[in-house]
Structure 1
Amino acid sequence: MKKIINIILLTVIIAFSTVNAQDFQGVATYKTHRDFDIKMDSTKMNDAKQKQIMEMMKKQFQKTYILTFDKKESLYQQEEELDKPQVGSGFQMSLGSSGSDVFYKNIKDKRYVDQKETMGKRFLIKDSISPIEWKLESDTKHIGEYMCFKATYTKQVPKINFNFSSNSNNDEEKDEAEAPEMIERTVTAWYTPQIPVSNGPAKYQGLPGLILEIHDGKLTVICSKIVINPEEKNEIEAPSKGKEVSQTEYDDIMEKKSKEMLERYAPSRGAKDGTIHITVGG
């Protein structure tokens, strides 16, 4: 471990001159995708239709984000894209993020501002950055021209089971939702001290170098391009439009809305229309 830390420190010292200028800025492009495992009611949908839906969902989860950063601030925003393909009537999907979302981080002041447009409403989530207890590992690899080091941390997340069968024939329906089962998940990051800013995509940060790759459960985020000190500098400013809430307040609102949507669109007992309604969190 001491050897790894010494290598990191040496790399930071070499790279420090690159970022020491007051006008230092970088632009990193990230590609994301999310694996999923779902079950559909085969009695309501043929194999060809199921395959078509699965391919459409894959494309829904393939996104491109741009991280504009300097020594203390960053903006993370989805790249503008064409509308995703729709499968047809009877299939509805609501994703937890919008192309107009903007995530601002100030790693110096340890705060963030997350502008989200959800269910037709715009929210401005303001809160402090939670420290991540990273464990620096000895593994290394190259991502493009950058030497990267591995880091991991564990967190507790709710276990979620997706079941998109339109049959709703449970003998008993519970009046109150049970607390979700929690499981432990290991998050893996690859960061490069060659770009010594303690930042990364979305809420990932806190390492001695820019994070270029993340594996968090079924979510994968990989940097595909980096431009250091582009000719045309971009303004890094916190978004300011939307209803101001804390992260906890926003999570409570989304949980309530999700329950309302499930109750509204859940197929009635014995329904035969085969409609599938899906809501997937960001």
Structure 2
Amino acid sequence: MKNFLLSLIFILFTFSIKCQTFSGKVTYEVKLTFTKENLKQMELNNNKATNTMRKVLQNSTDTNVLLKFTSNQSHYEVIKKLEINDRKPLNMTYSIAGGSKQYITDLIVNKNTMKECELLEECFLIEQPVLKWELTQETKLIGGYLCYKAINTSSKNKKKKPIAWYSPKIPASFGPKHYFGLPGLILELEETAVVFKVKEIILNPKEKVKVIVKEGTKISQEEYNKKLKKAYTQFYEN
């Protein structure tokens, strides 16, 4: 009965947001939760790998990201794109937050697409798998909004499933990166090594929000992975 009621609430929520005009801009701050203590627990092959990871942790600074949404679509990207070259150390937080990638969600077709333009020197629109959620009754206040806990059960991570905290008070079925499909806006998201925390929410801004999907080659994740393996054979073999 509990699952039936939750499913009914979600269906009614989805129908309602498709029948109203609603938009917003959300800024999240992304923080690294992977610490030096976690590093000690890892079984790395040698001291060189350990020292490299330690330097990565030291140079991983907090990152801000932006989610723009309308009633049926959203666009997500990292706000400040860092210049990563031989002299710039890897910022793990920036990379996990999305790096140069963009994520576009379309509720009408129930899909999220990741746009990638750097690895293969061509822009690809990579369709992401639809997520499965376990809705719970656990709650907490975030920025004055009552939020409910949801667990991403479709994640392949066996040790820690991503956890989202969403607010039904904000009728937008969106969140950071490829996370969507909940009966409310995701205000906090916990992944394996980072946490996304809402920093600012602007609902129905005066300036009209537009979600524009730029051109790119549409491709499945499986097909894209094959192209990567072919282009970076040595990396995958190692």
Q: 2 CA distance for matches of 1:46 and 1:208?
A: 42
Contact 1:107/1:199 (CA < 8 Å) preserved in 2?
no
1:249 corresponds to 2:226: no
1:73 corresponds to 2:66: no
Contact 1:200/1:211 (CA < 8 Å) preserved in 2?
yes
Instruction: Kindly provide the CA deviation profile for residues 71-127 of structure 1, in whole angstroms up to 9, marking residues without a partner as x.
Output: 110000110245369668xx8899588754321110121133322123361332243
Distance verdict in 2 for CA 1:108–1:220, change over 3 Å: same
Q: How many residues align?
A: 223
Partner of 1:261, secondary structure, is helix
Q: 1 CA distance for matches of 2:50 and 2:188?
A: 37
Code of the residue aligned with 2:29 in structure 1: it is: K
Q: 2 CA distance for matches of 1:55 and 1:247?
A: 32
Q: 1 CA distance for matches of 2:128 and 2:53?
A: 42
Partner of 2:117, secondary structure, is strand
Q: 2 CA distance for matches of 1:256 and 1:33?
A: 33
Code of the residue aligned with 2:116 in structure 1: it is: K
Partner of 1:252, secondary structure, is helix
Contact 2:131/2:179 (CA < 8 Å) preserved in 1?
no
Q: 1 CA distance for matches of 2:91 and 2:145?
A: 38
Compare CA radii of gyration and give the structure with the larger one: 1
TM-score with structure 1 length normalisation? 0.64
Code of the residue aligned with 1:137 in structure 2: it is: T
TM-score with structure 2 length normalisation? 0.74
Which fold has the larger relative contact order, with Cα–Cα distance below 8 Å and residues 6 or more apart in sequence?
1
Code of the residue aligned with 1:252 in structure 2: it is: K
Partner of 2:106: 106
Instruction: Kindly provide the CA deviation profile for residues 151-170 of structure 1, in whole angstroms up to 9, marking residues without a partner as x.
Output: 11334537xxxxxxxxxxxx
Q: Which runs of 5+ in 1 are unaligned?
A: 159-182, 267-282
Code of the residue aligned with 2:76 in structure 1: it is: Y
Superposed displacement of residue 51, structure 1: 5.2
Q: Structure 2 residue aligned with 1:191, among 166, 169, 182? A: 166
Q: 1 CA distance for matches of 2:56 and 2:194?
A: 19
Contact 1:74/1:236 (CA < 8 Å) preserved in 2?
yes
Partner of 1:195, secondary structure, is coil
Greater helix percent: which structure? Answer: 2
1:127 corresponds to 2:144: no
